[in-house]
Amino acid sequence: MIANVHSIETFSSLDGPGIRYVLFLQGCNLACKYCHNIDTIPRINYKQMSVDEVVNDFLKYKAFYQDGGITISGGEPLLQLDFIIALFEKLKEYNVHTAIQTQGTIFQDNPKFRKLIDLTNLFIVDLKGVNNTEVKKITNVKLDNTFLLLDILNKENKKFYITYVLVPEINNSNYHIEELGKILKRFNQANYKFKVLKYHKLGLDKWTQLGIKYELDKYREATSKDVGEFLDKLKSYIQ
Ligand code: SF4
């Protein structure tokens, strides 16, 4: 089984518990206006790696990852579902903690995805909006499959993080907070963590190099204060 790989980060502390080996897969079904890895979007044959190559590469560094493990990111990793299943099956032989970063919009409730859920210790689900109307300010997609994934993870008592990129003046109003509160209330608090990520423009150079217009240019980056205020207000909706 072969994957199209964008890049590998061998020492990340941001993509799940502990120190992580992060495999960024090439290709995404979306084109988010704030994408900071726009070069991962094209579904092209980039660097190719087999399951054994990834496993052997991970095992070289295994001693570093005692409380961590491997995280599959992208692009959108679920586009390469068969590869991830084969990879995680192999990694489970070595008792490795497995995580996936996904926006969940291509998730389906079928046996293959159910198998992936069984093999995955942690899902990190990026929520692109609070509903199918609001999400259009960020990307052209519906969130039904993302919500289906979250509801199944919750029902199965799996561990998951929900991440939400805060873009000032676009998705941090009281309306967004209230809608988010309704979403989070559905889930058992023991199963999930909610994380707000600050919108930034670090990937802007890549857009410029590719000659693609960056629509969010006129919006400022989010600050720690924005995140603090957002979370304070959100608390009153989920307690
Ligand atoms: S889902 Fe992620 S990789 Fe895909 S376009 Fe959006 S931000 Fe970029």
Per-domain boundaries in the chain: 2-238
The predicted model gives 100-111 an average pLDDT of: 98
Q: Is 41 in the pocket of ligand 1 (CB under 6 A)?
A: yes
| H-assigned helices in the chain | 51-60, 81-92, 111-119, 144-155, 174-185, 204-210, 224-238
Q: Give the model's confidence band at 176: pLDDT under 50 very low, under 70 low, under 90 confident, else very high.
A: very high
User: Cα-flanking dihedrals φ and ψ of residue 148, to 5°?
Assistant: -60, -45
Q: Is 30 in the pocket of ligand 1 (CB under 6 A)?
A: yes
Q: How far is the CA of 102 from the centre of ligand 1 (A)?
A: 9
Ligand 1 binding pocket mutation candidate from 25, 38, 41 (most atoms within 8 A of CB)? 41
CB neighbourhood size of 225 (10 A): 8
Q: Is 85 in the pocket of ligand 1 (CB under 6 A)?
A: no
Residue nearest to atom 3 of ligand 1 (CA): 75
Residues 6+ apart with CB under 8 A from 209: none
CB neighbourhood size of 198 (10 A): 14
The predicted model gives 87-106 an average pLDDT of: 98
Residue nearest to atom 6 of ligand 1 (CA): 32
Domain 2-238 bears CATH identifier 3.40.50.300: no
Q: Give the model's confidence band at 46: pLDDT under 50 very low, under 70 low, under 90 confident, else very high.
A: confident
For the chain, the average pLDDT equals: 96
The predicted model gives 145-162 an average pLDDT of: 98
Q: Is 37 in the pocket of ligand 1 (CB under 6 A)?
A: yes
- pLDDT above 70: percentage of residues in the chain: 100
- Measured from the Cα of 103, ligand 1's closest atom is 1
**The pLDDT of residue 79:** 98
pLDDT higher than threshold 90 for residue 119: yes
**The pLDDT of residue 55:** 98
Q: Name the one residue in this structure whose structure tokens are 């960056």.
A: 214
Residue type (1 letter), 150: L
pTM for this predicted structure: 0.97
